[in-house]
Structure formats: C-alpha cells, structure tokens
C-alpha cells in the first residue's frame, strides 16, 4: 500500500483540475473557506455549515471503519494520493463533505441573499460533482463509494434541515452548550471504532469534531456578548486601481489577518500539547508511533483544533474590531 506508482500525465487540464478539486475536500479548504464565511459573509450561514459538516463527516468516517470496504485495487487503478490509502473506501467522505458544504451553503443563503436560484443550485452541483469526480480520477474511490457518499450526505441534509433553526437556537442560548459541545465530541472520539491496524480516520475525525467544538463554544460566547454578523459599508471608493474597492480590501485584510492568527494558533497549540503529552507519557515529540496512540492522538488533536475553532470565531473577530476591519 505504501508503494508509489509511476504514471504519465497525458492531459494536464484534467490532471490539475481534479487534483485541485480533490483539495476542496481536505483540511486546507476547511481551514480557509469555513472561517472566511464567518468573517466575511454571515455568522448564521457559517454556523449551519459547520454543524452540518461535523455531523456528516463523523457519520461518514465511522461508516468507513464499520463497513470496511476496501479502496480500488492498484493496479489496475493508479493512485495519485497515498495519505488516505490506509483508510477504507465506502463511503467517500470527500463526496460527503462536498455535498454537505455546497448544498448547506446554498440552502442557508438562498433566502437571505438576492441571487438567481438556478445559479446557486448549479454552483452547488458543480462544486460537489468536481470533488466526486476527483476521487475517481485520483484512484481513491470506486463509483459506488462516491455515489454512496453523496447520497448519504443528501439524506442527512434533508433530515437535518427541519431542525436547523432549533439546533442553532439551542447552541446559541442554552447554558449547557459549552459543556455539551466539549463532552459529547470527546466521548465520540474516545469511543471511535477500533481497527486491527492504524488508520488516519480516528485522527481526522477528532480534528473535525475538535474544530466544530471550539467553534460552537465560540458561537455561544459571542451570542452572550451580542456580537452580530459582519456589516459591510454600503459605500465604496477607488483605491488607485479602478476595480479594487474598499470592500474588497477589507475582505482580503480580514481573511489574511484571520488565517495568519489561525495558523499561528494551530502551530503553538500543537507544539504545546504535544510537549505536555510527551512529558506525561515519556516520548519524544517527533515519535509518530507514539502520537498515534489513543491516549495521545485524541487529546492532542482535539485540544489543538478546538483552539483553532475558538480562535477563528472569537479571537479573530475581536482582532478585526481592534484593527478597524469590522
């Protein structure tokens, strides 16, 4: 499984299109797009996307390790990725995440913002389709894996949609929200299905639930202090270049300041938590085998990414306000 294959790229357009599309279902996309919506679009839209994303991804990851369906055989398939090769295949969590994020974004915004319904629907469909096709192109999933993932995600969206407002209200107002948001994900992570060999699914699931837990606590805390969604100025003026407006500059400034703080938080917390756990369990920080142990992996990833989620929803908006970027 760890062998890399030699291959010749015959169509660079498809190659780069689907390699890029595959990245839309990975951490680099989650850690940029989800905070971007919170900082620059709408708090309520971001809250719904994060809750749906975390629920869908947890169910998808657990389903993989319960069903234990293998990934496509290689050969004949050429696999362009190796990190996720140790995971099982059914369902495709890339397909689940892409479907959940694109259609939850579309559903949450279609009644709040003025844009053609057909355009939003097509955009959501194209986004999820590109990610699904990328999993076939990269050789990581079968057609059944991808269809199964997209269908499961669609069913979960339909089931969750009627409860969106109720869940959102409880997460913002219930005094038990912080405790619930931390304890329940931790219990789920520590009781994750066990496999005969190490798979990154538990670590990835802990990362997702940790980020959602930290963000949810941040949502609750912001609501206690009545922080509202970003309000954009209706006026804009030219800044040297005719096509660059004040709004665009502020949006980009929010994004880059926020991402810098988020990445710094992740780096600091990762090293701090690993240092504490390394001291507690007597292993060097760079010992990958030790970091895969349950008693190390779960607290390390949960604390690190819950800090990231909290920073993105509380610390970064406060910094935006301090810098005059609100």
Q: DSSP states of 281-311 as a string?
A: HT--TT-HHHHTSHHHHHHHHHHHHHHHHHI
- Rounded CA-CA distance 178/183 in Å is 9
Please identify which of the residues 43, 141, 169, 320 carries the catalytic annotation.
141
With contact defined as beta carbons under 8 Å apart, do 275 and 286 qualify? no
Task: Tell me the two tokens of residue 208.
Answer: 């997702």
Output the CA angle 118-124-126, nearest 5 degrees. 100
φ and ψ at 308, to 5 degrees?
A: -65, -45
Task: Tell me the two tokens of residue 205.
Answer: 């699931």
Instruction: Confirm whether 94 is a catalytic residue.
Output: yes
Instruction: Confirm whether 320 is a catalytic residue.
Output: no
**Residues 6+ positions from 274 with CB-CB distance below 8 Å:** 285, 291, 300
**Residues 6+ positions from 251 with CB-CB distance below 8 Å:** 40
Which residues are tagged catalytic?
A: 94, 141
């Amino acid at each position: 499984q760890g062998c890399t294959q030699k291959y010749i790229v015959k169509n660079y357009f498809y190659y780069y299109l689907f390699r890029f599309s595959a990245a839309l279902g990975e951490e680099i996309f989650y850690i940029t797009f989800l905070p971007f919506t919170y900082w620059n679009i709408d708090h309520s839209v971001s809250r719904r996307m994060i809750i749906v994303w975390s629920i869908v991804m947890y169910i998808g990851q657990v389903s993989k390790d319960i069903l234990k369906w293998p990934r496509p055989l290689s050969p004949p398939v050429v696999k362009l990725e190796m990190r996720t090769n140790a995971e099982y295949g059914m369902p495709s969590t890339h397909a689940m995440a892409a479907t959940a994020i694109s259609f939850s974004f579309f559903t949450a915004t279609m009644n709040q913002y003025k844009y053609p319904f057909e355009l939003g629907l097509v955009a959501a469909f194209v986004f999820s389709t590109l990610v699904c096709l990328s999993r076939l192109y990269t050789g990581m999933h079968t057609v059944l894996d991808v269809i199964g993932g997209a269908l499961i995600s669609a069913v979960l969206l339909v089931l969750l949609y009627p409860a969106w407002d109720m869940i959102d209200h409880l997460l913002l107002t219930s005094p038990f929200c912080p405790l619930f948001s931390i304890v329940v994900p931790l219990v789920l992570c520590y009781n994750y299905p066990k496999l005969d060999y190490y798979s990154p699914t538990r670590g990835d699931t802990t990362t997702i639930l940790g980020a959602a837990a930290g963000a949810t606590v941040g949502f609750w805390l912001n609501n206690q202090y009545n922080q509202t969604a970003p309000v954009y100025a209706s006026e804009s003026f030219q800044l040297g270049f005719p096509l660059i407006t004040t709004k665009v500059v502020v949006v980009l400034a929010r994004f880059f300041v926020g991402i810098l703080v988020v990445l710094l938080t992740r780096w600091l917390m990762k090293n701090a938590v690993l240092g504490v756990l390394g001291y507690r369990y007597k292993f060097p920080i760079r010992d990958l085998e030790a970091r895969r142990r349950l008693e190390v992996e779960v607290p390390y990833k949960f604390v690190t990414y819950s800090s990231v989620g909290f920073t993105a929803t509380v610390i970064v908006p406060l910094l935006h306000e301090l810098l005059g970027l609100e």
